[in-house]
């Protein structure tokens, strides 16, 4: 059997074994296509074994989270941590609190995180976790009690040399603060067991902004390859959370025009462009846990049940959630011939959307490269915690810019297809080669 056939057989095994995990299979297939082609073209058959290791999680942890609501009633939720792969360093990746959080989602995110973290060049393995908890329907005290109960269980499984979680959807600086405090209470130790902490107690400057800022830095490198820049570019952003808002902030600083933000209920359209003052109000509203539709006095029109993909724009920044651009949305976007889709969220484009973008020559910046700035600054937070230092914001931002530049370089190096750069292939192969090289020294690849 050729290595290519063995690899395909392995993908089939994954599809059978994890048949109830469509998002995980989607992510594995997406990387697997590029890896299989690379193995065949480079005639390095031994590498297929690395892919089999990298597609099985090291560990899946599930626990019950019991917490008390404001009526004094006990509630139970499911908490998870998928420790996907620690070849390059301690497990690292965010925690997500949404009512729909399930293992499938965390498996795909842990798998992607392993590849993403490898691209940063920092010593971090990949993981993802969370709970099927809905902070939107809870009071602040209930959220705090949930975070404490969640950490009481998670604390058994994490540590500065073991696994260092951070935030993701539904988990921001405030929730990280509640969980960090609980860990201290349990262990009586001030340890860097979470990143995304507030800078007053060990968090890194710029971590909150890092994912969004990093997306924009990456998009600037993509545009530079086309001899263009961000000035006056019309941009559609989805989402109105951490990634979306700091993407918007940096885009405004660069002279771009942002015409949309959105949430799970609709889109806010800014015909004349989002202003700094609109953005400040939205960031403030978010801190008060307000919905986008409830934030008054901004110059945008909120349109219920609509997505941002109907508007003509130069750049598309999906920054909300996975598979938020399906084939139909992609067809709608293509009508306006955008220059690029820059994936701020993890895996925001469905397979059919990606196929359509490729057929129509729309560049796609893949999430594992584009949004790696967040986890990269988390990596810098770990370094600061280890050395008991706090770096200035300008220093962290410079490091972030360097890291995004070198991620773009890796995509370019491994993604060249004639005159064009296939960023997805570039990111997948660069990450795979780094991981497989490290794995080759562990003895696990011996055949
Ligand atoms: N935070 C980080 O540092 C990083 C985040 N990411 C990824 O970026 C994406 C956004 O995360 P983040 O900004 O942190 O999360 P937040 O919780 O801060 O914001 C999420 C935003 O997305 C919207 N949203 C969530 N689900 C849906 C949906 N099904 N349809 C439409 N909109 C939706 C939310 O709207 P609503 O309020 O209505 O639910 C909200 O506006 C995720 O894919 C995450 O994994 C990637 C790298 C790092
Ligand atoms: O900062 C981190 O550790 C997590 C970031 C994250 O969850 C992601 O990159 O998707």
pLDDT digits (tens, 9 = 90+) for 130-184: 999 999 999 999 999 999 999 999 999 999 999 999 999 999 999 999 999 999 9
Per-residue pLDDT averaged across 418-432, rounded? 96
Q: Which residues pair with 261 in a beta bridge?
A: 268
Confidence of residue 74 (pLDDT cuts 50, 70, 90): very high
The interface predicted TM-score of the complex, written ipTM, equals 0.99
Q: Is 196 annotated as a binding residue?
A: no
Task: Express each pLDDT in 39-60 by its tens digit.
Answer: 989 988 889 999 999 999 999 9
Mutation to probe ligand 2, out of 162, 344, 374 (largest number of atoms < 8 A from CB): 374
**Could you tell me which residues come within 8 angstroms of residue 272 by beta carbon, excluding any fewer than 6 positions away?**
299
Residue 296 has pLDDT above 90, yes or no: no
Residue 165 parent element (H or E): strand 163-166
Q: How far apart are the first and last CA of the chain?
A: 14
Q: Is 413 annotated as a binding residue?
A: no
Asked if the domains at 59-190 and 208-370 fall in one CATH topology, the answer is yes
Residue 2 has pLDDT above 90, yes or no: no
Q: Is 116 annotated as a binding residue?
A: yes
Per-residue pLDDT averaged across 179-208, rounded? 97
Q: Which residues line ligand 1 (CB under 6 A)?
A: 167-170, 211, 239-244, 263-265, 319-321, 324, 344-346, 371, 374
Which string of b and e fits 40-73 if b means at least 16 CB within 10 Å? beeeeeebbbbbbbbbebbeebebebebeeeeee
Q: Which residues line ligand 2 (CB under 6 A)?
A: 92-94, 113, 116, 166, 168, 195, 346, 371, 374-375, 378
C-alpha–C-alpha distance, residues 103 and 265, integer Å? 25
* Residue-level pLDDT at 210: 98
Q: Label the pairing between strands 163-166 and 234-238.
A: unpaired
User: Domain residues of the chain, as ranges?
Assistant: 1-55+424-447, 59-190, 208-370
Per-residue pLDDT averaged across 292-304, rounded? 93
* Residue-level pLDDT at 93: 98
Whole-model pTM: value is: 0.98
Per-residue pLDDT averaged across 402-416, rounded? 98
Is 281 catalytic? The answer is: no
Residue 324 has pLDDT above 70, yes or no: yes
Which CATH number is associated with domain 59-190? 3.40.50.10860
Residue 3 has pLDDT above 90, yes or no: no
When the candidates are 3.40.50.410, 3.30.750.24, 3.40.50.720, 3.10.580.10, the CATH number that belongs to 208-370 is: 3.40.50.720
Q: Label the pairing between strands 315-318 and 266-269.
A: unpaired
Residue 304 has pLDDT above 90, yes or no: yes
Ligand lying closest to the C-alpha of residue 215: 1
């Amino acid at each position: 059997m050729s290595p290519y056939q063995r690899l395909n057989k392995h993908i089939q095994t994954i599809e059978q074994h994890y048949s109830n995990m469509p998002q995980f299979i989607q992510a594995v297939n997406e990387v697997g296509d590029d890896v299989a082609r690379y193995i065949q073209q480079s005639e390095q058959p031994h590498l297929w074994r690395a892919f089999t290791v990298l597609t099985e999680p090291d560990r899946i942890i599930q626990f019950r989270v019991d917490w008390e609501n404001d009526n004094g009633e006990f509630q139970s939720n499911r908490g998870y941590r998928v420790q996907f792969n620690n070849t390059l360093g301690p497990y690292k990746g965010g925690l997500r609190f949404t009512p729909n959080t399930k293992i499938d989602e965390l498996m795909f995110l842990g798998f992607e995180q392993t590849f993403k973290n490898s691209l940063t060049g920092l010593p971090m393995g990949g993981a993802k976790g969370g709970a099927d908890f809905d902070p939107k329907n809870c009071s602040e005290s209930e959220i705090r009690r949930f975070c404490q109960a969640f950490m009481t269980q998670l604390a058994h499984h994490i540590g500065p040399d073991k696994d260092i979680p951070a935030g993701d959807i539904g988990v921001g600086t405030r929730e990280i603060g509640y969980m960090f405090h609980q860990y201290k209470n349990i262990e009586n130790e001030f340890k860097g067991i979470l990143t995304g902490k507030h800078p007053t107690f060990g968090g890194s400057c710029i971590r909150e902004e890092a994912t969004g800022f990093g997306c924009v830095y990456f998009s600037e490198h993509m545009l530079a390859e086309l001899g263009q820049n961000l000035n006056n570019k019309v941009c559609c952003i989805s989402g109105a959370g951490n990634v979306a808002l700091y993407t918007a902030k940096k885009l405004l600083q660069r002279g771009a025009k942002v015409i949309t933000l959105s949430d799970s209920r609709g889109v806010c359209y800014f015909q004349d462009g989002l202003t700094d003052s609109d953005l400040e109000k939205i960031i403030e509203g978010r801190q008060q846990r307000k919905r986008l539709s409830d934030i008054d006095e901004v110059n945008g029109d909120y349109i219920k049940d609509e997505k941002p993909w109907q508007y003509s724009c130069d750049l598309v920044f999906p920054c909300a959630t996975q598979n938020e651009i399906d084939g139909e949305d992609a067809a709608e976007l293509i009508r306006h011939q955008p220059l690029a889709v820059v994936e701020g969220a993890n895996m925001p484009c469905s397979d059919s959307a990606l196929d359509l973008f490729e057929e129509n020559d729309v560049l796609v910046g893949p999430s594992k490269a584009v949004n790696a700035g967040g986890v990269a600054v988390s990596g810098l937070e770990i370094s600061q915690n280890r050395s008991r230092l706090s770096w200035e914001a300008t220093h962290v931002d410079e490091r972030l810019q360097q890291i995004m530049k070198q991620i773009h370089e890796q995509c370019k190096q491994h993604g060249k297809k004639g005159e064009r750069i296939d960023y997805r292939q570039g990111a997948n192969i660069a990450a795979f080669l780094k991981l497989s090289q490290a794995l080759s020294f562990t003895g696990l690849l011996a055949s």
